[in-house]
Structure 1
Amino acid sequence: MSQGLRAWPVEGIGEVGEGTPLPDLLAGVELDDGDVVVVTSKVVSKAEGRVRRQDRDEAITEETVRVVARRGPTRIVENRLGLVMAAAGVDASNVAADHVVLLPLDPDGSARRLREDLARERGTNVAVVVTDTAGRAWRTGQTDLALGLAGLLPLEDLSGRTDGYGNPLVVTAPAVADEVASLAELVTGKLGGRPVTVVRGLGARVLPAGEHGPGARPLLRPREQDMFALGAREAVVAAVRGREQACFGAPAAPEELVEALASCGIDARATDGPATDGLGTPVVRVDLPHGSGVRDQVVALERARLVAHAHAWGPFSDTGGGPGDGPGDSVWFSPTAP
């Protein structure tokens, strides 16, 4: 790596259509062992026949597994690949009018095939990254990220190591594949018509020939670990409906739920469980307003249920079916299954 890190676009690539061999896009390009070939998902999709004459909104709906957030016409969704992105990755740019480009059916498979084809035709061991553009939950603007991957580990897991001051690293794991994708986008740009990039200087990270690695799927955050699994409005609706429990993560600690209930003016405390339980189930007891009518108690109970649901807790019921069945002096909540 003495020459440092270099990246350059492949020039002169014309229109790609269904059946275009992807290795042909690198005709005349010198490749060395350890290079990384970065190709946009749009080119892969065109070559694989993923262009449709279809209304864009209709295509987005068909590709959507779950709506994460919506603001007017803009939809952030989880698509069939498990990716959370705007418009399910459906693109209507750089394609004929009234047509859309869908994401590849199997981006990791596409990356593996291109890597194997280049190895067979060139005798060269390179890694391949298939990319697309997406926004970030915390920041404005978009960057490219890895949808498909072969020959490169997607993450560099540094957990268990120590920094220069001796501090242990707990969750540090640079997303190497996404960093390579962003580097390639800087080189190609969005309007240059250059969908393929060669990155040189990462040979130490490229896996041996025939060893493809786990692909890009490990970069997908599990839903139960995603603090942004639902938009703000959508989270309220999910709590009211008692749905999408997995999107609220693992059950919160009893003390955390009690604090949240208190912030909403609800009297609650953690306890070992009602005497009728006998199982030691951790529960939170909510004391409904004394001296109030049934209506006020029902309102208080429903507010408590919404807060509890958002913390992955639900109404507690013992074998007798008593606590939590309706308004009374007190009701109990217990953690739902993770």
Structure 2
Amino acid sequence: MSRPTAGPGLTSTVTITPLRGIPEVEEGDALADVLEVGLRSSGVRLQTGDIVVVSSKIASKALGLVTHDPDKVRVVANETDYVVAERATPAHVTRIVRSKAGPVMAAAGVDGSNTGRHGGWLLLPHDPDAVCRDLRDELLRRHGVRVGVILSDTSGRPWRIGQVDFALGLHGLQATDDLRGGTDADGRPLEVTSRAIADEIASAADLAKGKVQAVPAAVVRGLARYVPETDVPAAPRGRDLVRTGPDDWFGHGRVEAVRAALGVEPGTPEAEAVGIPPASRADSTRLEAVGRAVRVALQTVDCGTADVGRLSVTLGADTPFELGRLAARLEASLWSEGLHGSSGQPSADGRSVVVSVTALPSVHSHA
């Protein structure tokens, strides 16, 4: 088998150097000064084409983005544009939201770990790309070399276990490598491949810096091809990497999509009133799940009634039309709880019906 070689513009070696010796960051500290300490302590001299990856946590500390409000739910709400999904645990409710910082992530990135001696909750900067721009400009002024800067944060990913770092903000480097229009190694055209370069670099850098080791920055060398010689005004920013609008195929979780269609948007008082589904089905009894489904179904049916049981629900309404509408809403709502509703024959006057409740097949039973 032939050995692959570096092609034009490529490199065979990428190095990641953690910047050690950085002290606890305080409000008002200049990020460039903080990095200088790490560069000197680690014996690193910046070169043209280097990419400096900085954990968002030290940027938040330096900018004073901390709150001591004890109510984390309120803090998260203040940092949220809209809620994507929410699940209840015995201790609290976890919400996946579109944060004001840009990304879709748990709890809007509000974090109480590694906050230093002052404690509190750290908040993400609302314009992380501007933080990167200012830092890149100062590093250029001090060192006379063009570098890229990434502000990294940590998040989970849909359908994958575990968290990884991603580019919350960036400046001075390519965000993506769009290979569409080119060909693969076999000469076949590439139609959909666009590599998330900034996210890959952020994730790789985290292997060298890490959270437990208290090393908040690293220098990535060997990827100068992604650091342009001049700024490109229309280049994607970190915020531009978030799918929104028609490109967002996952605007709601499966449960939230059903409930939102029935008039119960996640993160609203209505969602609180009907009950938020638990993170694990094992945390909820059948009767509790049926009860939530019934409350969702009744949201916009003023004349509806429901007698709730574990295996069936008896619905009532003033007219046959409203009864049919309520039964259809209940069947949809039960589906979001991993349950199947089947309506029997309505009463002679068309004002009541029994809906039997069974579990959906396991393939559909996940939230």
> TM-score w.r.t. structure 1 length?
0.71
- 1:101 CA drift (Å): 0.4
Letter of the aligned partner of 1:15 in structure 2?
E
Letter of the aligned partner of 1:94 in structure 2?
N
> Among residues 96, 102, 105, which one is paired with 1:76 in the alignment?
96
Counterparts in 2 of 1:243 and 1:70: CA distance versus 1, 3 Å: closer
Aligned match of 2:73: 57
Aligned match of 1:92: 112
Tell me how far apart the structure 2 counterparts of residues 105 and 2 of structure 1 sit (CA, whole Å). 35
> Among residues 225, 233, 236, which one is paired with 2:247 in the alignment?
225
Percent identity reads 44
Aligned match of 1:239: 261
Please list the CA deviations of residues 13-34 of structure 1 after superposition, one character each: whole Å capped at 9, or x if unmatched: 0011111111112322310010
Q: Across the two proteins, how many residue pairs are aligned to each other?
A: 259
Tell me how far apart the structure 1 counterparts of residues 63 and 192 of structure 2 sit (CA, whole Å). 37
Counterparts in 2 of 1:242 and 1:171: CA distance versus 1, 3 Å: farther
Aligned match of 2:23: 14
More displaced stretch, 20-29 vs 144-153: 20-29
Counterparts in 2 of 1:115 and 1:211: CA distance versus 1, 3 Å: farther
- 1:126 CA drift (Å): 0.5
Please list the CA deviations of residues 66-117 of structure 1 after superposition, one character each: whole Å capped at 9, or x if unmatched: 1111111211111113311001010101114650100012100000000000
Residues 154 and 166 of structure 2 are in contact (CA less than 8 Å); yes or no, is this contact kept in structure 1?
yes
Residues 102 and 126 of structure 2 are in contact (CA less than 8 Å); yes or no, is this contact kept in structure 1?
no
Residues 155 and 166 of structure 2 are in contact (CA less than 8 Å); yes or no, is this contact kept in structure 1?
yes
Tell me how far apart the structure 2 counterparts of residues 2 and 214 of structure 1 sit (CA, whole Å). 23
Aligned match of 1:159: 180
> TM-score w.r.t. structure 2 length?
0.65
CA RMSD in angstroms, aligned pairs only:
2.6
Flag structure 1 segments of 5+ consecutive residues without an equivalent: 245-292, 308-338
> Among residues 19, 28, 34, which one is paired with 1:25 in the alignment?
34
- 1:226 CA drift (Å): 2.2
Residues 130 and 148 of structure 1 are in contact (CA less than 8 Å); yes or no, is this contact kept in structure 2?
yes
Counterparts in 2 of 1:2 and 1:174: CA distance versus 1, 3 Å: closer
Counterparts in 2 of 1:3 and 1:30: CA distance versus 1, 3 Å: farther
Counterparts in 2 of 1:88 and 1:2: CA distance versus 1, 3 Å: closer
Letter of the aligned partner of 2:238 in structure 1?
A
Secondary structure of 1:162 counterpart: coil
Please list the CA deviations of residues 126-167 of structure 1 after superposition, one character each: whole Å capped at 9, or x if unmatched: 000000000000100000000111111111111122223333
- 1:219 CA drift (Å): 0.9
Letter of the aligned partner of 1:214 in structure 2?
P
Tell me how far apart the structure 2 counterparts of residues 203 and 194 of structure 1 sit (CA, whole Å). 23
Residues 54 and 218 of structure 2 are in contact (CA less than 8 Å); yes or no, is this contact kept in structure 1?
yes
Aligned match of 2:131: 110
Secondary structure of 1:185 counterpart: helix
Aligned match of 1:39: 54
Aligned match of 2:202: 181
Residues 51 and 221 of structure 2 are in contact (CA less than 8 Å); yes or no, is this contact kept in structure 1?
yes
Counterparts in 2 of 1:44 and 1:98: CA distance versus 1, 3 Å: closer
Tell me how far apart the structure 2 counterparts of residues 119 and 98 of structure 1 sit (CA, whole Å). 33
Residues 54 and 98 of structure 1 are in contact (CA less than 8 Å); yes or no, is this contact kept in structure 2?
no
Tell me how far apart the structure 2 counterparts of residues 184 and 19 of structure 1 sit (CA, whole Å). 26
Please list the CA deviations of residues 223-277 of structure 1 after superposition, one character each: whole Å capped at 9, or x if unmatched: 4322221122211111112879xxxxxxxxxxxxxxxxxxxxxxxxxxxxxxxxx
Tell me how far apart the structure 2 counterparts of residues 9 and 17 of structure 1 sit (CA, whole Å). 20
More displaced stretch, 144-153 vs 208-217: 208-217
Flag structure 2 segments of 5+ consecutive residues without an equivalent: 1-9, 267-318, 334-367
Tell me how far apart the structure 2 counterparts of residues 132 and 70 of structure 1 sit (CA, whole Å). 21
Tell me how far apart the structure 1 counterparts of residues 216 and 79 of structure 2 sit (CA, whole Å). 24
Tell me how far apart the structure 1 counterparts of residues 227 and 263 of structure 2 sit (CA, whole Å). 48
Tell me how far apart the structure 1 counterparts of residues 230 and 185 of structure 2 sit (CA, whole Å). 34
Counterparts in 2 of 1:148 and 1:296: CA distance versus 1, 3 Å: closer
Letter of the aligned partner of 2:145 in structure 1?
T
